[in-house]
Amino acid sequence: MVVLNATDVNGLAARTKAKAEGLGYVGVGVGNAPQDGKPTIAYYKTGSKAAAQRAARDLGAKSTQPLPVGSVIESAAVEAVPDVQVVVVLGTG
């Protein structure tokens, strides 16, 4: 899993990573995403919807959606963890 910060709150992704690891997630990566004013969303690659739903519940995401192929979000996530399946983008809501 990768946690991307799309807010202006410094260190939010790192704090969320620590929370995720405390819940048993391993190999969590962090990074930044463009600020877009959207709520927190858990994105997933094909076959990982259930994992994204769990991450959404655990980390307070408002929804789950397929990870847009070729998007800035996908690029930032793959940079942090090349074989990432779930990406939680921390938003403003």
**DSSP letter, residue 34:** -
Q: How does pLDDT run along the chain (93 residues), one tens digit per residue?
A: 999 999 999 999 999 999 999 999 999 999 999 998 999 999 999 999 999 999 999 999 999 999 999 999 999 999 999 999 999 999 986
Task: Render 50-87 in DSSP notation, one character per residue.
Answer: HHHHHHHHHHT-SEEEEPPTT-HHHHHHHHH-TT--EE
Angle at the Cα of 16 from the Cα atoms of 59 and 77, rounded to 5 degrees: 90
pTM: 0.96
Q: How far is CA 91 from CA 15, 75, 82, 83, in A?
A: 14, 18, 22, 23
Question: What per-residue confidence (pLDDT) applies to 51?
Answer: 98
